Homo-oligomer: A and B are copies of this chain.
Amino acid sequence: MSDIDGRAVAKALRAEVAAEAERLRGEGVVPRLAVVVPTDDEGTAWYVRSIKKAAEKEGVDCRIEHLKEPGRDEIVAKLQELSADDSVHGIICQTPLPEGVTLAELGWYISPYKDIDGANPESLGRLAQGRRTWAPATAAAVLELLKREDVVLEGARAVVVGRSTVVGKPAALLLVNESATVTVCHSRTKDLAAVCREADVLVAAVGRAGMIGADFVKPGATVIDVGTNPTEDGGLVGDVDYAAVSEVAGRLTPVPGGVGPVTTALLLRHTVEAAELSKTHG
């Protein structure tokens, strides 16, 4: 078994981002990501600081828009303001959101030209149409890791565990577009382990620490662990039982150090792409 090194993939991506950002700055365009933070949640604050640090290291400006106990209308107004602001190229909205407000609904207020985390239904629809768009960065990170590892997707059986709008469904659509035979599983799936064992490529995005055991994995399969479950001692563990699955899988992403750093790097890559796009779409 070999680990898939997400940090190495992220490093390569970020070097590409830095080169692009420098080129854009040379043309007078400062690539800028705006992060709307509608919460005082500490975990979110920590994550947002890590994005800002990564962005600024690679020459991408990062503007944090912290809203204190906002209502729905205040978040919508902020997303509209940023969508209309020519100096902003990428917009993401963090969670948790106020009671009764969903990202699915707020995403509509992010201009599709700036929707670098695929929150607007139009972006998701274009993904389903197989057209050029930004997928949610975590789903895009799954594909990026598989491609950088030269995993054959055409004709492969891929199983995605989890059907969220931000990971499971877009990852499944990306894999279908790459000509994998794709199965989407979830909490209602019967005999989940047996279905997962059909997979040449297994994507775990359920949000339950260590639930994917060795009996879920076909020997030699490639396993991408999207889970980031906090542990009691302040660490992170994935959805995959790493110790057990590493005995069976061919390749496996660790947590931390797998999907996470690639997701952050892709938010930056998408932002420089959006900045490039802004030259024609203003």
Contacts and interface: CB of A to CB of B under 8 A. Distances in A.
Contacts of A124: 121, 124-125, 128-129
B181 A176 contact: no
Interface in A119-142: 120-131
B181 A185 contact: yes
Interface size band for A: 35 or more
Contacts of A104: 129-131
| Copies of this polypeptide in the complex | 2
Interface stretch (A5-13, A77-85, A162-170, A248-256): A162-170
A130 B195 CA distance: 23
A189 interface: yes
A181 B189 contact: yes
A154 interface: yes
22 contacts: A105-B131, A108-B122, A120-B125, A121-B125, A121-B126, A121-B128, A123-B125, A124-B124, A124-B125, A124-B128, A125-B126, A125-B127, A125-B128, A128-B169, A129-B165, A154-B188, A155-B190, A157-B190, A157-B195, A169-B176, A182-B184, A183-B183
Given A125-B126, A179-B188, A181-B184, 17 more contacts: A104-B130, A105-B131, A121-B125, A122-B125, A124-B124, A125-B128, A128-B169, A128-B170, A154-B188, A155-B189, A169-B173, A169-B176, A179-B186, A181-B183, A181-B186, A181-B190, A181-B195
